[in-house]
Structure 1
Amino acid sequence: MEFYLKENGMRIDLDYGTLSISGNEEYGFRPYQLMAASIAGCSGSVFRKILEKQRTEIEDLIISAEVERNPEEASRIERISLHYTIKGYHLNPDRLYKNLALSRKNCSMIRSVEDSIKIEESLEYMELSR
């Protein structure tokens, strides 16, 4: 990957588009947003694959992320809280929690930062009827 200087940050050109990165939201994604998005995106993708393999029928998976930063240490990310909302059919709560734990073990982004950023996860589910 090659990153290029631009007036108010950096950019990278990828096959599916250009990503602008800046400390100012007016000019691109802020680095902490990209970190949280990488962790939520990876975790959600792994979780979804596990649910699909177990033939769990889901209509939607929403992840909200809350980021806690420390202004005393260059706004270092201290904690990311991920809240998963699953909407689906015939959901088994015990299985959902076990699969979430399994997805954590198999998410490369969480595994990369787990010794330096506290990652917290919570889960809620909504049973849909047909």
Structure 2
Amino acid sequence: MSLHITTTWLGNMKFESTNPSGHNLFIDAGPENGGNSEGYRPKALMLSALAGCSGLDVASLIKKMKLEVADFKIEIDANLTEEDPKYYDKVGMHFHFSGSDLNEKKLQRAVDLSVEKYCGVMEMFRQFADLKVETHFHNKST
């Protein structure tokens, strides 16, 4: 499967990038790098792609397994190397599930399937970063 993306310079440090979904996004640098902060930073966008890829896997599995989850979020902490070209050498992913009747075993299975089998973005990250994944359950009484 081949994808085509076109990223067009809009002047200064701002770009618009097409996406096969039809929803375009803007990329821009911060003021410290001559931009106006009118778009995503490229490296941070990679982390959003990682969370989104795995999140879609887990959301799909939550639906298939008919699991009750009130809230689900993914937090990522990443370390950039000091020298150019800077890249992420350490990435921590934290899956947070909240609800009154969480099936922790099945939710952990959903996370494991994404991490070990389904998420292609995660596999890409493994090529250059030490990736640690943790799952957190927040059981709320009704």
TM bucket by the smaller chain? Answer: 0.7 to 0.9
Let me know the Cα RMSD of the aligned residues. 1.8
Equivalence for 2:14: 9
1:99 matched to 2:110? The reply is yes
The equivalent position to 1:118 in structure 2, one of 130, 138, 141, is 130
Unaligned stretches of 5+ residues in structure 2 = 31-35
Aligned pairs for 1:1-130 (under 5 A) are: 1-6=5-10, 7-14=12-19, 15-16=22-23, 18-24=24-30, 26-104=37-115, 105-130=117-142
- Displacement of 1:106 in angstroms is 0.4
Unaligned stretches of 5+ residues in structure 1 = none
Alignment-mate amino acid for residue 16 of structure 2: R
Query: Partners of 1:13 and 1:114 in 2: how far apart?
Result: 26
Question: Once structures 1 and 2 are overlaid, which stretch shifts more, 89-98 or 55-64?
Answer: 89-98
Change (3 A) 1:53 1:89: farther
- Displacement of 1:33 in angstroms is 0.9
The count of aligned residue pairs is 129
Question: Does the CA-based 8 Å contact 1:8-1:27 persist in structure 2?
Answer: no
Alignment-mate amino acid for residue 31 of structure 1: P
TM-score (norm 1): 0.87
Query: The residue matched to 1:58 in structure 2 has which SS?
Result: coil
TM-score (norm 2): 0.80
Alignment-mate amino acid for residue 78 of structure 2: V
Query: Partners of 2:28 and 2:39 in 1: how far apart?
Result: 5
Query: Partners of 1:58 and 1:5 in 2: how far apart?
Result: 42
- How many percent identity over aligned positions? 21
Question: Does the CA-based 8 Å contact 1:88-1:127 persist in structure 2?
Answer: yes
- Displacement of 1:93 in angstroms is 2.3
Query: The residue matched to 2:55 in structure 1 has which SS?
Result: helix
Alignment-mate amino acid for residue 23 of structure 1: A
- Displacement of 1:89 in angstroms is 4.0
